[in-house]
C-alpha cells in the first residue's frame, strides 16, 4: 500500500491545478498526504471515489485513473518525468509542478505569479556584520530597553541594520522603531494606558528619533487612529526634542482618519506603496491599492503642508525599470519628500519567491534618479528598510531647520 500511495502522490504532483477537476486545494491535500496517510487497509474503488469526491468533486475519468494507479503493484521507476506525465488523460500545467515544500494552508492563493527560482545562497552584498559589534551606543540602548516594555520592530524582525540605527554615530541620531496596539495579526483589545506608558518609556530610553507603527487594526471602527494620535501627542509632551515618524496603514482610504493622523503632532507621515503598480496584487493585501496609497500620502500633505511625507519601495519582485521610475514619479507628484528603496527577501517558503537580487550599483542608480526627481532624501540599498536610519543627519537637519523657521516667524510678527 505504501508503494501505491507513493505512486499516487507522485502522480498528483504533476496534475495541473487549473485543468484538473481536483483543483488547487485538492492537489495540495494529495501532495501533503491528506487523509490517505491514515489508511491501513487497501482502498476499494468506492471508498477512493468517496474520498476524492468529498474533497474536490473529481471526474469519473480521473477517479478511474487514480484507482488504477492505487491498485497496480509498484515497480522500480526508470521512466523520465516527461513520460510519467504523459500517462495522465488530461492536460498538464505548463509551469513547474508544485514543490514538496509548498504550503498546505487553506489560506494559500489558488495561483501564484511565476517567478525565477530563488538562488540557494545570498549574494555577498547581502551579508552584514553582527549588529552593534564594536558600538557602545548600541549596547547602551539595548540595556536601557530592558524593563521598558516596548515592542521594538528592530529586535523582533531581526533587522540587519539594528546596529547602524541604534548606534547613532557622528552624522546621524539613534533611531528605533516600536509597535503599538499589539504585535500580532490577532491583536488584543486596546490598552487605554498604552499611550502614556509608551511616552514614559520612550522618554527614559534616550533615542533621538522614534518610528511608531502598528499592525492593521481593521477590527476597530477608527482603525486605531485616535489611540495612535494620542500616543504621538504624549510622546511629544514627555520628550519635546524627540522626532517622531509614524508608519501607518491606508485606513481603507478614509481620508478623515488620515487627517487626524497628520495633525497629531508627528514630524514625518510614512505610508509605503511597497511595490510598483503592476505588482500590487501579488505583493500586497487585496484590500490595499496603489492609487489608494498615493491618495493617502497626498492628503496627508494637503492636511498639513509643513508635514514631511515618506514612502518605500521594495525591489526584487520582477518589476521593470520603467515601472520603478513611474512609481517614483507618482510619489513625487503626491508630494512625497523622503523615499527608501530596498531588496525584498523571502521571509519563509510560504511567501513570494525572490525574482532578482538587485546589485548595490543598481541601487545607487535609483538613488541618483530619485534625487534628480526632487526627493529631499533617498535611502537606496540592498539592506535598506522603511525605517532605515530614519534619523539620518540630513533628515534631522531638515526637521530642525523647519522648527527654527517656525519659531522665528512668531518673533518676527511680534516685532
Choose between 188 and 313: higher pLDDT. 313
**Cβ-proximal residues to 188 (8 Å cutoff; 6+ apart), any chain:** 182
CA distances from residue 61 to 12, 16, 22, 34, 65 in whole angstroms, order as listed: 14, 15, 12, 21, 6
Is 165 annotated in some ligand binding site?
yes
Q: Is 341 in contact with 366 (CB distance < 8 Å)? A: yes
CA atoms of 264 and 227, how far apart (whole Å): 11
Q: How confident is the model at residue 147 (pLDDT cuts 50, 70, 90)?
A: low
CA 262 to chain centre: 23
Is 246 annotated in some ligand binding site?
no
CA atoms of 375 and 387, how far apart (whole Å): 16
Q: Is the pLDDT of residue 329 over 80?
A: yes
Q: What is the pLDDT of residue 260?
A: 97
Listed as own residue / partner, the contacts of 141-148 with beta carbons closer than 8 Å and 24 or more positions apart are 141/166, 141/174, 141/176, 141/205, 141/206, 141/207, 142/166, 144/204, 144/205, 144/206, 145/205, 148/201, 148/204, 148/205
Q: What is the pLDDT of residue 228?
A: 95
Q: What does the pLDDT average to over 149-153?
A: 56
- pLDDT tens-place string over residues 37-85: 333 334 444 554 555 455 444 444 444 544 454 445 544 444 433 333 3
Q: What is the pLDDT of residue 350?
A: 86
Q: What is the pLDDT of residue 173?
A: 62
- C-alpha grid cell, residue 160: 540587519
User: Lowest mean pLDDT: which of 35-44, 221-230, 234-243?
Assistant: 35-44
Q: What is the pLDDT of residue 93?
A: 35
Q: What is the pLDDT of residue 299?
A: 98
Choose between 106 and 44: higher pLDDT. 44
Q: Is the pLDDT of residue 321 over 60?
A: yes
**Cβ-proximal residues to 136 (8 Å cutoff; 6+ apart), any chain:** none
Give residue for cell 509614524: 246
Q: What is the pLDDT of residue 357?
A: 96
User: Lowest mean pLDDT: which of 22-36, 55-69, 338-352, 377-391?
Assistant: 22-36
- pLDDT tens-place string over residues 367-381: 999 999 999 989 899
Q: Is the pLDDT of residue 139 over 80?
A: no
Average predicted confidence (pLDDT) for the chain: 71
Q: What is the pLDDT of residue 181?
A: 85
Q: What is the pLDDT of residue 315?
A: 97
Q: What is the pLDDT of residue 414?
A: 57
Instruction: Please list, residue by residue across 238-260, b when 16 or more beta carbons sit within 10 angstroms of its beta carbon and e when fewer do.
Output: bbeebbbbbbbbbbebebebbbb
User: Lowest mean pLDDT: which of 136-145, 211-220, 302-311?
Assistant: 136-145
- pLDDT tens-place string over residues 255-289: 999 999 999 999 999 999 999 999 999 999 888 89
Closest CA to 324 of 334, 314, 338, 311: 314
Is 387 annotated in some ligand binding site?
yes
Domain boundaries along the sequence of the chain:
128-266
Listed as own residue / partner, the contacts of 32-38 with beta carbons closer than 8 Å and 24 or more positions apart are 32/104, 33/9, 36/5, 36/8, 36/9, 37/5
Q: Is the pLDDT of residue 296 over 70?
A: yes
- pLDDT tens-place string over residues 169-209: 555 566 778 888 876 666 788 989 989 988 988 888 777 88
Amino acid at each position: 500500500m505504501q508503494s501505491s500511495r507513493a505512486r499516487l502522490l507522485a502522480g498528483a504532483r504533476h496534475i495541473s491545478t487549473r485543468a484538473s477537476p481536483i483543483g488547487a486545494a485538492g492537489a495540495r491535500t494529495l501532495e501533503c498526504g491528506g487523509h490517505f496517510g491514515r489508511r491501513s487497509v487497501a482502498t476499494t474503488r468506492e471508498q477512493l471515489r468517496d474520498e476524492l469526491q468529498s474533497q474536490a468533486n473529481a471526474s469519473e475519468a480521473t477517479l478511474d485513473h487514480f484507482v488504477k494507479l492505487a491498485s497496480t503493484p509498484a515497480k522500480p521507476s526508470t521512466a523520465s518525468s516527461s513520460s510519467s506525465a504523459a500517462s495522465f488523460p488530461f492536460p498538464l500545467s505548463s509551469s513547474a509542478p508544485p514543490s514538496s515544500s509548498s504550503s498546505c494552508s487553506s489560506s494559500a492563493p489558488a495561483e501564484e505569479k511565476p517567478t525565477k527560482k530563488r538562488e540557494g545562497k545570498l549574494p555577498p552584498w547581502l551579508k552584514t556584520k553582527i549588529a552593534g559589534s564594536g558600538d557602545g551606543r548600541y549596547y547602551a540602548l539595548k540595556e536601557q530597553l530592558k524593563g521598558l516594555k516596548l515592542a521594538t520592530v528592530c529586535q523582533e524582525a531581526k533587522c540587519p541594520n539594528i546596529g547602524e540605527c541604534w548606534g547613532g554615530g557622528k552624522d546621524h541620531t539613534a533611531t528605533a522603531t516600536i509597535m503599538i496596539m499589539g504585535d500580532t495579526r490577532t491583536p488584543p483589545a486596546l490598552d487605554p494606558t498604552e499611550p502614556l506608558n509608551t511616552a514614559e518609556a520612550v522618554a527614559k530610553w534616550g533615542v533621538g528619533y522614534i518610528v511608531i507603527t502598528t499592525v492593521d487594526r481593521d477590527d476597530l471602527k477608527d482603525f486605531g487612529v485616535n489611540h495612535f494620535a494620542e500616543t504621538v501627542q504624549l510622546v511629544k509632551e514627555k520628550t519635546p526634542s524627540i522626532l517622531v515618524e509614524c508608519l501607518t496603514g491606508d485606513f481603507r482610504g478614509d481620508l478623515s482618519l488620515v487627517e487626524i493622523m497628520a495633525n497629531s503632532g508627528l514630524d514625518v507621515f510614512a505610508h509605503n506603496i511597497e511595490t510598483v503598480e503592476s505588482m500590487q496584487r501579488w505583493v500586497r493585501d487585496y484590500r490595499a491599492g496603489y492609487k489608494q496609497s498615493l491618495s493617502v500620502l497626498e492628503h496627508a500633505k494637503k492636511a498639513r503642508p509643513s508635514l514631511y511625507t515618506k514612502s518605500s519601495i521594495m525591489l526584487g519582485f520582477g518589476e521593470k525599470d520603467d515601472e520603478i521610475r513611474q512609481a517614483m514619479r507618482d510619489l513625487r507628484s503626491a508630494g512625497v519628500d523622503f523615499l527608501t528603496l530596498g531588496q525584498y527577501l523571502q521571509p519563509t517558503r510560504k511567501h513570494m519567491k525572490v525574482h532578482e537580487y538587485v546589485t548595490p550599483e543598481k541601487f545607487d542608480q535609483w538613488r541618483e534618479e530619485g534625487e534628480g526627481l526632487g526627493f529631499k532624501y533617498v535611502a537606496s540599498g540592498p539592506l535598506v528598510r522603511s525605517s532605515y536610519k530614519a534619523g539620518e543627519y540630513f533628515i534631522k537637519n531638515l526637521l530642525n531647520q523647519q522648527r527654527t523657521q517656525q519659531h522665528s516667524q512668531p518673533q518676527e510678527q511680534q516685532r
